[in-house]
Amino acid sequence: MCLRCNAMTGLSSRSKPHIPRVIRGLPALRFALARWQARRHKIALVPTMGALHAGHLALVRLAQRRADRVIVSIFVNPTQFAPNEDLTTYPRTFAADIAALTALRADLVWAPSAETMYPSGFATRVVPEGPGTAGLEDAFRPHFFTGVATVVAKLLIQCQPDFAVFGEKDYQQLKVVTRLARDLGLKTRIVGAPTVREKDGLALSSRNAYLSPGEREAAPALHRALADGAKKIAAETPIAAALEEARASVERAGFTLDYLEARHADTLQPAGSYKEGPLRLLVAARIGKTRLIDNVAI
């Protein structure tokens, strides 16, 4: 019995399960897209690396509110991991991801293999400047944004979406892909979605699964430091003093800081005062073996 059609299910069209079609090759993807485009469907793409959590699913829901068809890509992109990073241990939960997307009634899952994305002889990279060289993530993960920009450019070209949704959780990445879509003259509009958090403030992340119980207990200090720092800067405490306090409280909680910086929210350039806003407060810090990032608006 086909779960995608009405026959034999006896369920109404709203309650019947809708397993998204999983496509792994470009010809089938192009065929599916051509059918939607012929019907003038508005298409959205939500790029992910899988291990889906409520943050990813909020992106899918946002896309569904604005588009006729939603594609979720699931691809753990090897080129954005440095050799010493967690590519091999990155959580992979494909069956659970499909179950979550079935519950949401997503239309299509684009799940290419590494060989499809990077065929033998692959020799083209997209190297972002501007927000991609702001001295934040790029300073600590020099491979990262070239890997991200290359794979996102490919996903946008492959899926031809009218818009693509990215989380503010990865704020510098959101700025990089927004610039990329404009600079490459793509038709896709990039839409940012707010960060989904646990009740205690910790931003949802696939990497939270790496935290030991003790580290998990300490982890909300990251968001607390950002929220307090943002409040102080908005109350016109000098930025340097507010940053110093926020950095100290993150370190007291047991983190080793990579950075905690106030930047202009659009350019990501350093900001001297609140009046230069809108500003964004961004942090990356390590606890045990886990590196977490977060950010808030000021």
Q: Could you give the residue numbers annotated as active site?
A: 56
Please list, in sequence order, all residues whose beta carbon lies within 8 angstroms of the beta carbon of residue 68, skipping any fewer than 6 positions away: 36, 41, 42, 43
Q: Is position 166 an interface residue for ligand AMP (rule: CB under 6 A)?
A: yes
Count of H-run helices and E-run strands, the chain: 10, 9
Provide, rounded to whole angstroms, the least separation between the CB of residue 166 and ligand AMP. Answer: 4
Stretch that binds ligand AMP, among 26-34, 161-169, 224-232, 260-268 (CB under 6 A): 161-169
Choice between 161 and 239, CB closer to ligand AMP: 161
DSSP-derived letter for residue 114 is H
Applying CB under 6 A, what is the total number of residues that bind ligand AMP? 17
Burial 218-250 (b: 16+ CB within 10 A, else e): bbbbbbbbbeebbebbeeeeebeebbeebbebb
For residue 121, is it left (φ>0), alpha (ψ between -120 and 50) or beta?
left
Max distance between CA atoms of the chain, in angstroms, equals 67
Strands 108-110 and 256-264: unpaired
Q: Is 56 in the site for ligand AMP (CB under 6 A)?
A: yes
Q: Where do we find the tokens 């992106």?
A: 59
Shortest distance in whole angstroms from residue 193 CB to ligand AMP? 6
Among 23, 32, 33, 55, binds ligand AMP (CB under 6 A): 55
Sheet with 290-297, side-by-side order of all strands: 256-264, 279-287, 290-297
Among residues 58 and 285, whose Cβ is nearest to ligand AMP?
58
- Strand ranges in the chain using DSSP code E only, listed in sequence order: 21-23, 43-48, 69-74, 108-110, 163-167, 189-193, 256-264, 279-287, 290-297
* From 8-16, 26-34, 98-106, 203-211, span contacting ligand AMP (CB under 6 A): 203-211
Is residue 204 part of the contact set for ligand AMP (CB under 6 A)? yes
Which CB sits closer to ligand AMP, 239 or 287? 287
The set of residues, in sequence order, having a beta carbon less than 8 Å from that of 77 and lying 6+ positions away, is 49, 117, 147, 148, 151
Q: Please identify which residue in 19, 22, 28, 49 interacts with ligand AMP, judged by CB under 6 A.
A: 49
Residues 168-197 that bind ligand AMP (CB under 6 A): 169-170, 193, 195-196
Piece in contact with ligand AMP (CB under 6 A), picked from 81-89, 136-144, 198-206, 270-278: 198-206
DSSP 162: S
Our finding on whether 205 is near ligand AMP (CB under 6 A) is yes
Least gap, CB of 242 to ligand AMP (angstroms): 24
Of residues 58-117, which lie at the interface with ligand AMP (CB under 6 A)? Answer: 58-59
Contact residues for ligand AMP, defined by CB under 6 A: 48-49, 55-56, 58-59, 166-167, 169-170, 193, 195-196, 203-206
